[in-house]
Amino acid sequence: MSLKRLLSRTLPLWAMLTAPTLAWAQTAPETFGRPTTVPVNVFDGSASTDTMFNFVTWLTLSVLVAVLITLVIFAVKYRYQPGRRSIFIHGNNALESVWTLIPTIILAVIAVLSQDSWSQMKNPPVNPPDEPIRVRIIAMQFKWFFQYPGPDGEFGRLDVTRMNIKSSDVKEQAGLDPTDPASADDIIVGQLVVPKDRTVIADMISIDVIHSFFLPNFRIKQDAVPGMTTRVWLRSNKTSAEVVGTNPNQPLATYTADGEEVVITDAKPFDIVCAELCGNGHYTMRGLLYVVSEQQYNQFLEIEYAAAAAGGEDDGYGY
């Protein structure tokens, strides 16, 4: 059966199949009109990832197109025709060597390039101009907490046996050991706040199952594994307000020891996504990453540290 005949014969069926889709598209124009764009990459450490992605895309696309075009040409040119016979070819060792060697070389190039972008993503700069900020990421079903070490620069010990997920105090939820002197000035908060253009080194632990810390805007993903510490580093060259905009109705606010609300910024945060299935609430495990100015960051920490020093219960979102 010729393709033309086939298509014309089956036209009603194609219409039947595509009609619901088109109808849906008509009823939901706002969905189709919504811009779908690649998340802006704000992390210099993964800039080469995007370059690599584009390079591999163009490379593989050209290979793919070449193969598909060749197949189509062969299928048409060598189609069955009365009187024409197939030509008997055993193979060609020279040709086989060529098309083994060339892909091998191309793949070797990609492999070497990818080592480079991998090391940029994994290793923080050796001699950063400023002292890196250290944070500890605590993952648990189904939320993210972030521990800042306080003025002493030492993280308080986390003790699984002290964990009490039902507590209203975030330090008890995470099992921060109050007998450890380093714990006294620590804060644990429910959103990650870091300044723009500063190196952040984050050690990551999980309290229960495996979670995965995914920042689409940074091209970073790292599992948080119970029983071990994993590490990511990041540095944003833009504030989150510059990339995702602001929302004055839902600002990032914190509370002083006296219970006064202080708005740090009205920026919207970057998404932190849990990318490893961790249970029924996996899909709710969204975290917030605010990249703010250096002053806003310092203001945030000062208020939080002061409130922590004054004591009291902390739900992780301000005292």
Partner 1 sequence: MSLAPLSLHKPNYLSVSNTLRSWLLTTDHKRIAILFLISITFFFFIGGFAAVLMRLELMTPHADVVDKEAYNRLFTIHGVVLIFFFLVPSIPGVLGNFLIPIMIGARDMAFPRLNLASWYLYLIGGIIVLTSILIGGADTGWTFYTPYSSVYSNSAVFTMAVGVFVAGFSSILTGLNFIVTTHTMRAPGMTWFRLPLFIWSHYATALIMILGTPVLAIAVLMVAVERMGVGIFDPALGGDPILFQHLFWFYSHPAVYIMVLPAFGVISELVTCFSRKRIFGYTFVAAASLAIAVLGFLVWGHHMFVSGQSAYASMVFSIISFTIAVPSGIKVLNWTATIYKGRVWLTTPMLYAFGFIGLFTIGGVTGLFLAAMAIDVHVHDTYFVIAHFHYIMVGGTVMAYLGGIHFWWPKMTGRMYPEGWAVFSAILIFVGFNLTFFPQFLVGYLGMPRRYHIYPEEYQALNILSTAGASILGIGYLFPFTYLLWSLRRGPRAESNPWDAAGLEWQTTSPPPTFNFEKTPIVTQEAYAYELVSQEDDLPGRPNPTEGEIPVLDAPPQEDQP
* Residues 274-303 within binding reach of partner 1 (CB under 8 A): 274-283
**Contact between 71 and partner 1 per CB under 8 A:** yes
Region binding partner 1 by CB under 8 A among candidate stretches 81-89, 187-195, 249-257, 294-302: 81-89
Q: How far is the CB of 296 from partner 1 (least distance, A)?
A: 26
Q: By the 8 A CB rule, do 200 and 133 touch?
A: yes
Q: Residue from 48, 173, 199, 254 that binds partner 1 (CB under 8 A)?
A: 48
147 binds partner 1 (CB under 8 A): no
Instruction: Pick between residue 72 and residue 263 the one whose CB is nearest to partner 1.
Output: 72
21 sits near partner 1 (criterion: CB under 8 A): yes
The answer to whether 56 contacts partner 1 (rule: CB under 8 A) is yes
Return d(Cα 137, Cα 205) in angstroms, integer.
Answer: 6
Stretch that binds partner 1, among 100-108, 174-182, 239-247, 311-319 (CB under 8 A): 100-108
> Cβ of residue 260: shortest distance to partner 1, in angstroms?
34
Which listed residue (32, 152, 245, 250) binds partner 1 by CB under 8 A?
Answer: 32
Query: What is the per-residue binding string for partner 1 in 190-229, x denoting contact by CB under 8 A?
Result: ------------------xxx-x-x-x--xxxxx-xxxx-
Q: Which of residues 106-135 bind partner 1 (CB under 8 A)?
A: 107-108, 110-111, 113-115, 117-118, 120-122
Could you count the other beta carbons within 10 Å of the beta carbon of residue 42?
23
Minimum Å distance from CB 160 to partner 1?
Answer: 7
> How many residues lie near partner 1 (CB under 8 A)?
98
- Alpha-carbon distance of 317 to 314, in angstroms, equals 7
Binders of partner 1 among residues 155 to 194 (CB under 8 A) are: 160
Smallest distance, partner 1 to C-beta of residue 22, A: 9
Q: Return d(Cα 302, Cα 225) in angstroms, integer.
A: 31
Compute the distance between CA of residue 232 and CA of residue 135 in angstroms, rounded to an integer: 10
CB within 8 A of 211, min separation 6: which ones? 139, 140, 223, 224, 274, 276, 278, 285
250 makes contact with partner 1 (CB under 8 A): no
Nearer to partner 1, 214 or 290 (CB): 214
**58 near partner 1, rule: CB under 8 A:** no
Comparison of 185 and 203: residue with beta carbon closer to partner 1: 203
* DSSP of 102-144: HHHHHHHHHHHHHHHHHHHHHS--SS-SSPPEEEEEEEETTEE
Residue 4 sits in the site that holds partner 1 (CB under 8 A): no
Q: Which of 4, 8, 26, 90 binds partner 1 (CB under 8 A)?
A: 90
Q: How many CB atoms lie within 10 A of CB 94?
A: 6
Nearer to partner 1, 272 or 303 (CB): 272
In the block, tokens 């030492």 appear at: 154
Residues 109, 117 contacting (CB under 8 angstroms): no
Q: Which helix (H) or strand (E) is 212 found in, with range?
A: strand 211-215
- Neighbouring residues of 268: CB distance < 8 A, sequence distance ≥ 6: 240, 241, 244, 245, 246, 247, 250
Could you give the C-alpha distances from 87 to 68, 91, 131, in angstroms and in order? 22, 12, 71
CB 185 within 8 A of CB 229: no
